[in-house]
């Protein structure tokens, strides 16, 4: 899943971080997990995280365990089951036509 369209005009590393976090909305991600999902060096990642935090697009929680980073709710697209169902039907239709 990708971050909402209105947040995709940011720096490439920032968009990659938002996309990675949107896929982990509930559990969040550590810096190490982000590092493995975003193709950027640690310095670029640090700059992107700082910019996103300043913009209020991420939250950082530093509880008992490792620091976890979460996307702000406004970045996460709404799940539309009807839209997803339509995509599934289209895919099924293509499979039938191709005999798969």
Report the C-alpha gap between 6 and 22 in whole angstroms.
Answer: 14
Q: Where are the domains of the chain?
A: 5-98
Q: Is the pLDDT of residue 83 over 70?
A: no
Class of domain 5-98: mainly alpha
Q: What is the pLDDT of residue 71?
A: 94
Q: pTM for the full model?
A: 0.74
Nearest to 31 by CA among 4, 68, 82: 68
- Tens digit of each residue's pLDDT (9 = 90 or more) over 33-65: 999 999 899 999 999 999 999 999 999 998 888
Q: What is the pLDDT of residue 34?
A: 92
Average pLDDT of span 74-83: 69
Q: Are 47 and 36 contacting, i.e. CB atoms less than 8 angstroms apart?
A: no
Percent of the chain at pLDDT > 70 equals 88
């Amino acid at each position: 899943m990708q971050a909402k369209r209105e947040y995709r005009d940011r720096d490439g590393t920032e968009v990659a971080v938002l996309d990675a976090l949107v896929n982990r909305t509930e559990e969040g991600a550590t810096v190490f997990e982000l590092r493995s999902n975003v193709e950027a060096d640690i310095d670029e990642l640090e700059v992107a995280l700082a910019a996103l935090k300043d913009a209020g697009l991420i939250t950082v929680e530093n509880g008992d365990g490792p620091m976890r980073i979460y996307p702000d709710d406004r970045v996460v697209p709404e799940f539309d089951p009807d839209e997803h169902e339509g995509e599934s039907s289209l895919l099924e239709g293509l499979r039938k036509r191709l005999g798969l």
